[in-house]
Amino acid sequence: MSDDGPGTREVAYRLFAAEFDDASLSYSESDEERAPNYVVTPTGARVNRLFTAGVLTEVERVNDETRRGRVVDPSGAFVTYAGQYQPEAQTFLERAEPPAFVALTGKARTFEPEDSDRVFTSVRPESLNEVDADTRDRWVVSAAEATLDRLAVFAKALDADLRGDDLRAALEAGGAPAPLAAGVPKAIDHYGTTAAYAEAVRRLAVDALEVIAGDRDEVRALDLAPDEGGDTAIGPLPETDVTVAEPAATAEAGGPPDEDAGSEPEPSAEETHTDPTAESGPAAESEPTAESEPTAESEPTAETDSTAATTDDAGGPPTDETVESASASTAEPESIGGTDDPDEPTD
């Protein structure tokens, strides 16, 4: 699935609430009316749409037309607002009885109040449905794998000397998906993301896997700001074929060098249409149904959102030493997704 222009449906990414909550950068790459708006997270996820599964812990009536829901994953909470342009999600929130396992697909948004210098994130719902604990557990595993795969590329970019457009071109030439190649340089420039923050996010992802495996009660808090902590060794990450191709290397790959010894080789970055796979959310024709309705007694707390159930996706107890061998073939939640509302305001 490509996202190279307006009118193309964006991938629904999977990322943890704690990192999404740290996001403060949003932008559009075009002035066209329906050009997508992106939220860029501190480790370089460029998100227009996202998919999450967690526990709906509370619903608040904001006004006569708007409902606010809080969906918790092992790391924190996503906030979603449903109003007149999201009638199905609005009705779902009105009738929901928290706590309940839910799946949420929607548009990533940021908002900065006039009287505050803090940027808040939220999700404008496209679909909101009740699911079961297994679906939530599979989402946690897939979100952890997507996070670790992204960090493997981000760590290479952080070690490179290139920044900005040069880094984007080098990542694309080195095989990075176009959205990630665009997001990573913007994240480094905007947040000044440190290796210490990247390591904290890596640890969060591993902790989440251990929660699902039953080896940990809760995820350790992501208590660093993106620009805090300085240089720290980043722990084990999955192998990646993506490289940061230096400008000279990409120029040589494109053809014989210029005979003029006084000229500098120009970097070449071929546009890639490779879509992220670990982070992409499935599109579906039907809505998921709950196989077993959770009760208040069996729900994980909002603070930890953990479950004693161990799914096939989680496998054995994941540790830092086994992250590199994590399977990328995680089972996807069945029939979860959403379609754009044609009556909804443009992005």
Task: Retrieve residue 346's tokens.
Answer: 């443009």
pLDDT at 106 over 80: yes
pLDDT at 281 over 50: no
Residue 142: predicted pLDDT: 98
Which one-letter DSSP state was computed for residue 340? -
Please write the tens of the pLDDT for every residue from 257-278: 444 434 444 443 333 333 433 3
Task: Residue 314: give the domain boundaries.
Answer: 12-325
Residue 163: predicted pLDDT: 97
Phi, psi (deg, nearest 5) at residue 119:
-100, 130
Q: How confident is the model at residue 2 (pLDDT cuts 50, 70, 90)?
A: very low
Closest CA to 106 of 288, 339, 333: 339
Chain position carrying tokens 């092992």: 74
Assigned domain for 26 exists? yes
CATH of the domain at 196: 2.40.50.140
The string of DSSP codes covering 139-196 is: HHHHHHHHHHHHHHHHHHHHHSS--HHHHHHHHHHTT--HHHHHHHHHHHHHH---HH
| Number of helical (H) and strand (E) elements in the chain, helices listed first | 7, 9
Please write the tens of the pLDDT for every residue from 56-80: 999 999 999 999 999 999 999 999 9
Q: What is the CA radius of gyration of the chain?
A: 20
Assigned domain for 343 exists? no
Residue 7: predicted pLDDT: 53
Tell me the whole-structure pTM to 2 decimals.
0.71
Assigned domain for 309 exists? yes
Assigned domain for 6 exists? no
Residue 247: predicted pLDDT: 67
Of 46-50, 224-228, 296-300, the least confident? 296-300
On whether the CB atoms of residues 284 and 335 are closer than 8 A, the answer is yes
> CB neighbours of 151 closer than 8 A, spacing ≥ 6?
43, 198, 201, 202, 205, 234, 237
Assigned domain for 4 exists? no
Please write the tens of the pLDDT for every residue from 158-206: 999 999 999 999 999 999 999 999 999 999 999 999 999 999 999 999 9
Closest CA to 335 of 291, 269, 270: 291
Q: Is 95 left (phi over 0), alpha (psi -120 to 50) or beta?
A: alpha
Assigned domain for 5 exists? no
Give the total number of structural domains in the chain. Answer: 1
